């Protein structure tokens, strides 16, 4: 019986996090621009490029995870699959983020084309939202892993990504010296609201799964709340990634904004890592009685091979 989902861990979680954070970072920046915030004109160029770079690194993490990297381009070959759609959305979003960023650099000829910029921003927002939603649908395709319920994961993914995307925008604004801008102050308050929603949705989802009809979902939720993942869940996701940044809301110095935003990002990575790893598969009859694990069998094979080599050496000593 599985104790954790071990096929997609670490890099996949980082990839999901980076793409979602990059996408929501772009969404927040584009929304600021569409709402007419002055700060948008100053930070959106580099901010959009940062969002693009985050998503690109996320895509690279997925490529590194793949066994046959030379053929990774084939990932978009089957648009009927959610994994393929995820890659397509990611690529589309990155393209739009790049085009959008070009409207903010003076040496680009189309800098003044505000209507086109607004159009790209709107299409980019849709692509960014899809880049966050499709991974939830992708995980929901796993019929044997009851913990991943697509309809429940979509709002959780949107809220947590919004929180980490807003955190990333605050870091960019603080680094570029716009931490005291009125629009950024509003964004800071928005982050507080997103963190409250994150607390409600994440805890609500896990608590809900604890009462689920599927035994594997109940086990996964128990592992998160009181088992193997409890330290990282309560410590990183809830306390460090949500409650501490909420407490730090009451200070608006650039250093505090950066610290709390970094904590939100750390919480975001931990959240994805836990949600990926905890989703165990529905057990097969007798699976918990499997005589030898794959690792044990491999260990036994190595020992046998060593013993055979010793015998061979004894029977036919090398000169």
Partner 1 sequence: MRWGMLVDLRKCVGCHACTVACQNVNGLDFADKWTKVLRVGPIGKYPNLTGYFMPVPCMHCEDAPCVEGCPTGASFKRKDGIVLVDENKCIGCKFCMVVCPYGVRLYNEKKGIVEKCVMCHERLENGETTRCTETCQLKARYCGDLDDPNSEISILIARNNAKPLHPELGTEPSVYYIIP
Q: Which residues bind partner 1 (CB under 8 A)?
A: 2, 5, 7-8, 62, 65-69, 71-72, 74-78, 80-84, 86-87, 138, 141-145, 281-282, 284-287, 289-291, 294, 297-298, 300-301, 304
At its nearest, how many Å lie between partner 1 and the CB of residue 112?
Answer: 41
At its nearest, how many Å lie between partner 1 and the CB of residue 215?
Answer: 12
**How many CA within 13 A on the CB side of residue 272?**
31
Instruction: Specify the residue for token string 């621009």.
Output: 33
CB of 116 or CB of 297, closer to partner 1: 297
Q: Tokens for 67?
A: 């066994």
CB of 6 or CB of 310, closer to partner 1: 6
CB of 81 or CB of 252, closer to partner 1: 81
Are 177 and 202 within 8 A, CB to CB? no
Q: Tokens for 213?
A: 């009809």
CB of 296 or CB of 313, closer to partner 1: 296
At its nearest, how many Å lie between partner 1 and the CB of residue 276?
Answer: 9
CB of 12 or CB of 120, closer to partner 1: 12
Measure the CA–CA gap between 214 and 281, rounded to whole angstroms. Answer: 10
Measure the CA–CA gap between 33 and 65, rounded to whole angstroms. Answer: 36
At its nearest, how many Å lie between partner 1 and the CB of residue 9?
Answer: 10
Measure the CA–CA gap between 59 and 97, rounded to whole angstroms. Answer: 15
CB of 193 or CB of 284, closer to partner 1: 284
Cα of 17 vs its chain's centroid, Å: 2
Q: Tokens for 174?
A: 């603080």
At its nearest, how many Å lie between partner 1 and the CB of residue 207?
Answer: 24
Measure the CA–CA gap between 14 and 270, rounded to whole angstroms. Answer: 9
Measure the CA–CA gap between 161 and 90, rounded to whole angstroms. Answer: 14
Can you give the C-alpha Rg of the chain in angstroms? 23
CB of 102 or CB of 142, closer to partner 1: 142
CB of 83 or CB of 154, closer to partner 1: 83
Question: Is the Cα torsion angle 180, 35, 47, 249 positive or negative in sign?
Answer: positive
- Secondary structure letter of residue 71 according to DSSP: G
Measure the CA–CA gap between 312 and 247, rounded to whole angstroms. Answer: 69
At its nearest, how many Å lie between partner 1 and the CB of residue 248?
Answer: 37
At its nearest, how many Å lie between partner 1 and the CB of residue 223?
Answer: 17
CB of 37 or CB of 75, closer to partner 1: 75
At its nearest, how many Å lie between partner 1 and the CB of residue 149?
Answer: 14
Are 13 and 271 within 8 A, CB to CB? no
Cα maximum dimension of the chain: 85
Are 1 and 288 within 8 A, CB to CB? yes
Are 18 and 64 within 8 A, CB to CB? no
Q: Tokens for 26?
A: 């772009």
At its nearest, how many Å lie between partner 1 and the CB of residue 61?
Answer: 12
């Amino acid at each position: 019986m599985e104790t954790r989902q071990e096929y997609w861990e670490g890099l996949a979680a980082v990839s999901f996090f980076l793409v979602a954070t990059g996408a929501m970072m772009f969404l927040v920046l584009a929304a600021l621009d569409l709402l007419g915030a002055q700060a948008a004109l100053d930070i959106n160029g580099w901010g959009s490029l940062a969002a693009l770079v985050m998503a690109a690194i996320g895509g690279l993490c997925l490529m590194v995870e793949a066994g046959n990297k030379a053929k990774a381009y084939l990932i978009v070959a089957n648009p009927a699959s959610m994994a393929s759609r995820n890659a397509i959305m990611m690529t589309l979003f990155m393209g739009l983020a790049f085009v959008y960023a070009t409207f903010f650099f003076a040496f680009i000829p189309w800098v003044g084309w505000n209507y086109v910029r607004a159009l790209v921003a709107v299409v980019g927002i849709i692509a960014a939202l899809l880049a966050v939603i499709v991974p939830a649908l992708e995980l929901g395709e796993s019929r044997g892993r009851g913990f991943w319920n697509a309809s429940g994961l979509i709002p959780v993914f949107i809220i947590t990504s919004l929180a980490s995307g807003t955190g990333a925008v605050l870091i960019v604004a603080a680094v570029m010296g716009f931490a005291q801008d009125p629009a950024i102050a509003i964004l800071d308050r928005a982050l507080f609201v997103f963190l409250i929603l994150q607390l409600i949705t994440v805890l609500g989802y896990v608590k809900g799964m604890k009462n689920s009809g599927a035994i594997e979902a109940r086990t996964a939720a128990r592992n998160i709340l009181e088992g193997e993942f409890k330290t990282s869940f309560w410590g990183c996701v809830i306390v460090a990634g949500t409650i501490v940044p909420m407490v730090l809301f009451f200070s608006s110095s650039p250093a505090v904004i950066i610290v709390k935003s970094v904590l939100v990002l750390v919480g975001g990575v931990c959240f994805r890592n836990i949600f990926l790893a905890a989703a165990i598969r529905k057990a097969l009859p007798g699976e918990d009685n499997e005589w030898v694990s794959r690792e044990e069998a491999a260990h036994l094979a190595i020992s046998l091979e060593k013993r055979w080599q010793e015998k061979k050496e004894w029977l036919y000593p090398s000169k």
